[in-house]
Structures are given as structure tokens and as C-alpha cells.
Structure 1
């Protein structure tokens, strides 16, 4: 089982929430690395079935977040201080945990190669993805900028770092400038990712980038709920009668009372198990109507055609 992952510059998580949920559901994404979330403290975005870890800028713009399926065992991890906006989580994957970092480098800041080196030199499999605002012809941009040149030199100097880019542009500026590829994926120790591709979805000026990490996450199975409306109460009554005695118990000490209560409770639970069916609690996020999906798809096709 591969970890299905997506990095996306949402340009506002709150206003894109329904579309992002739809993208997640349609592509069965497990981990989402978001940049430019534009969240404030008062914002409480909710994505059914997912835990959201966020690092807000505190002022306008920016912000990063990581969404992880509730059923995947994981924890947030500390990241070094940097001008870049970074948040990280570690996903349990057997004996080889995977570190995920969502990174946003604002246009007016320097690319922090020291931080990239530190997190990509960890012994765990590490995935660093996001909007680096770094342009270079090596990853299909029409030109180079300072951040792109710096990142290219960093990759060349660190052979354990692997760069993955989609074959299509990921950023289509609103001002009509040439499209470019700003949303990149870095991995360490030769751990290449698979199926990297652009998703033509969402209303941001960036397109989501989907990829798979070939690791097996540790799954937390959802608790099953008892379906009392389908219970066989006759079976429950018979089972409880067989398990309990009509004789008056000898309750002479506190321990006798505790033991009797514990046994009676155990008998009830055992009878419930065989007489009341269970159903796993699975949260299904809402999806956009088909007509809205078609309109978004049409908009993106027109958008890309006009910019290329």
C-alpha cells in the first residue's frame, strides 16, 4: 500500500475547503501538504476523516498545514526555525517512519538550504514538498531566479536528495505572465516517489501535485459501534441467564462486592457481543455535485489553454 499524497498551494484554505475535500475524496489522498492556507486563529476548518496540523502566519497570507487521515497513526514533529514557513508530521510505517514537511517560501525571503539540509539528512524517509517560489529551466521553467539557482546548486551538492517534478506547469499567474513549475517534491536517501502528476482541479492559481510514497502506514482501525436497533434481545436474555446464577451471592467484604459487579458487567458485555451486531464508524466527507465538478474542470482547461 502506497501513501497517496498531494501538495497544493490553496491560496486560501477556507474559501477552497469544499473543492479540496472533493479533490481528496476523488483521488483517495492520505496525506495533504498545503501552502498559503491564509488561516487566522479564528478559522476552524473541518475536513471529515482528517486531522489538520497547521502553522498560521498570523498576518495576511502565507501559512502551511498538513492533513492526515485519522486512521493513519502519526504525530506532529518539531522543525528548525526558518524564514520559510514549515510544518512537519511523522507517519508510522512499520520499522521505517516517514517524515512529511510542507514548505512555503515567500517570494521576498531567501531559500533556507541549511534547514533543507537538516531535515533531509534525517535517517527516516523524508518528503519535503510545497511552493518554493524557485524557478529553473531544469524543472521546466522558462527562466531562472535566485531561489531556483540556489535550490539547483543544493540538489547538485547533496546527492542523497532527489527532486521530483510533474511534467506539466503548476503555477499560472493571474497577471498573465508565463506559467512555471513552483510546486516541487524533495526526498532523501534515494527514496524516489511514484506517479507524480498535476491534478487539474481547484480554483487557486496553482494546481495540486499528486504523488505516491511507497511505504506501508500503520492503520488505526475505527471503533465499531453497536447497532442496538438490530439486536436479538431474546438471544441476549438467554445468554445472560445462562451466564448468571439466581443464587444470592455471599457479599461479606468490599472485595466480594467488587468481584460480583465485575462478573455481572462482564456477563452483560459478553451477551451484547453475540446478540448486537456492530458497524464500523466510517466518516464520509461530502463531495461536490457533478455539475460543479464539470464547471471547475472546464474552467481549469480554459485557464491552462489560455496561459500556455
Structure 2
């Protein structure tokens, strides 16, 4: 799911529960405006503190790039990590990075999960006596 939390709107536990409860795999990603040092923000805010507490009780991880995703146009306001992902997938490792394609005040973020096993490639061969052999 793609999410966006409006500025100055409190994050609701019921909304977090709706996104993360259940026995299903998910990726919830976007601008949650949830600042917390554990996901590379320069400080904590109320949303980040709530999300951190919820993640401790939930069966998911918060993933964030290690460099800022937000670059404000207002002088004196520093860049920070606002675009994050809540992840529950069977993979053990994830790679999340910023893409250097700044078309707004936010950089796009790419979340990758390597496959456990490369798919097997089949090649078609023709045997003159028995027909196709895959």
C-alpha cells in the first residue's frame, strides 16, 4: 500500500492496526512523517514515537534509507528521512535506497528484496527423433 500522512494530523493506532494486523504479507510505504533516530531521522516526533511503539508490538519492521528523502524549500529547515516502509515479508533482508531523481521536495525510494533462489531457466531443444525436449 502507498500511504501519505497529512501534516499536523495525528497518526491513529486504528489505522496502523488496519494496515498491519492479520496473517498476511505486506509492504506499506510512503510519506508517514514519522521521525525516529532508529530509521535515520535527525530527531523523534510524536508520529515516530507512536509508530516505534506500535512496531515493537507488531510483527513487522520499519525500513528506511540511511540518507534523507525530504529536502524542504524553506531555509533553516533541514533535510530528513520521512519516506519509510513498514514491511512484513518472508525475506530475511531488504535493501532500501534513495534514487537521485529529485523532481519534488522528496526523493523516490526503492525497496528491494533479493530472491532466495534464482529461477531455473529452461531452454527449448529439438530432438529429431522424439520431438521437443524442454
* TM-score, structure 1 normalization: 0.35
Deviations 1:179-204 (A, max 9, x none): 11000000126655522110010321
Give matches, 1:225-244, under 5 Å: none
Cα distance in 2 for partners of 1:127, 1:138 equals 19
**Which residue does 2:29 correspond to in 1?**
129
**Which residue does 1:170 correspond to in 2?**
69
> Between Structure 1 and Structure 2, how many residues are aligned?
114
Unaligned regions of 5+ residues in structure 1, if any? Answer: 1-100, 216-308
1:114 aligns with 2:14: yes
Q: 1:209 aligns with which of 105, 109, 113?
A: 109
- CA RMSD in angstroms, aligned pairs only: 1.9
Cα distance in 2 for partners of 1:192, 1:179 equals 30
Deviations 1:199-237 (A, max 9, x none): 01032111011012457xxxxxxxxxxxxxxxxxxxxxx
Q: 2:85 aligns with which of 164, 171, 185?
A: 185
1:162–1:191 CA contact under 8 A, matched in 2 = no
Give matches, 1:1-308, under 5 Å: 101-158=1-58, 160-176=59-75, 177-188=77-88, 191-192=91-92, 194-213=94-113
2:39–2:62 CA contact under 8 A, matched in 1 = no
Q: 1:174 to 1:192 in 2, by over 3 A?
A: farther
What secondary structure, in the 3-state scheme, does the structure 1 residue paired with 2:84 have? strand
What secondary structure, in the 3-state scheme, does the structure 1 residue paired with 2:96 have? strand
2:62–2:84 CA contact under 8 A, matched in 1 = yes
Higher helix share: 1
